[in-house]
Structure 1
Amino acid sequence: MHITFTESAAGRLEPLLQDGTAKLKLLHDTEGCGCVMSGVPALQLVREATVDDKEAAGDPFPFLYEPRHEVFYEPQLKVDFNPASNSFSLRSDNQTYTTQLRLIPLQSTER
């Protein structure tokens, strides 16, 4: 899996990642969905990888993801940020996954 972050998305994420204390994770969020098939993508800031996470190369940021959820996404993805709507989007060449990609901040227990 590979994610290209547009210049706009990279500019929005860089301040959150620059000190090296947070990592970026592509999360397949199933909270409240009832089924993994109904999950939605989200970006999450985490301190460290879990045993379930795999690190992937991204441009310009590496990111974490859970390989068991890889089946829901195409191998080449793009994250963009729209300043007018203050929202991220996740796309591939073939589809738009979401135009409201949520950014989950570091959890208070992780600070």
Structure 2
Amino acid sequence: MELIISEKASEELIKIKPETSPYLLLWYDTEGCGCGVNGLPTIRFTSRIHPTYKQISNYPIASYVEEQQEIFFAASTTLDFVNGMFRLSSPEGILNPFIPHLTGSKAPISESKRDRRSLGGG
């Protein structure tokens, strides 16, 4: 799997990347969506690399995807920043057109139970 991060998206990610959570995670957010196949492809930062995370080929931010969630992303996925929001797309189409930008926030976007906020996810 390959993640292409546009120059603009890279600049914005660097601005909001928490020091304590340096890894970008492609995440298929199913919280509040019903069953496990209903969800929204999104991104989040994480501080830990779990054994089930697979590294994604890209530059400049170390990126991962949960092995079982990789099926919800295209083999070549692009992360862009358009009109103040992140956007995930592929050659087949847009995966998530509206991933909010956390303006001025450097708060960790983590996987903890207490704070399950993700970029574009719930």
Pick the TM interval, shorter chain: 0.7 to 0.9
AA matched with 1:26 = L
Deviation of 1:90 after TM superposition, in Å, equals 0.6
Partner of 2:90 in structure 1? 92
- Give the aligned CA root-mean-square deviation in angstroms: 2.4
Partner of 2:118 in structure 1? none
CA deviation profile, 1:21-57 (whole Å, cap 9, x unmatched): 5211001111111212111111111111123212222
Q: Specify which of 98, 105, 109 is matched with residue 106 of structure 1.
A: 109
In 2, the alpha carbon distance for the partners of 1:42 and 1:103 equals: 12
Residue correspondence of structure 1 range 54-65 to structure 2 within 5 A: 54-65=54-65
Partner of 2:75 in structure 1? 75
Tell me the TM-score normalized by structure 2: 0.75
In 2, the alpha carbon distance for the partners of 1:51 and 1:11 equals: 29
What number of residue pairs does the alignment pair up? 108
AA matched with 2:67 = P
Deviation of 1:103 after TM superposition, in Å, equals 6.3
Deviation of 1:15 after TM superposition, in Å, equals 2.9
AA matched with 1:87 = M
Greater helix proportion: 1
In 2, the alpha carbon distance for the partners of 1:23 and 1:16 equals: 12
In 2, the alpha carbon distance for the partners of 1:106 and 1:69 equals: 18
In structure 2, the gaps of 5 or more residues are 103-107, 116-122
Alpha carbons of structure 1 residues 102 and 25: separation in structure 2 relative to 1, 3 Å: farther
Asked whether the 8 Å contact 1:43–1:103 carries over to 2, the reply is no
Deviation of 1:5 after TM superposition, in Å, equals 0.5
Asked whether the 8 Å contact 1:4–1:60 carries over to 2, the reply is no
What SS class does the counterpart of residue 69 from structure 2 fall into?
A: helix
In structure 1, the gaps of 5 or more residues are none
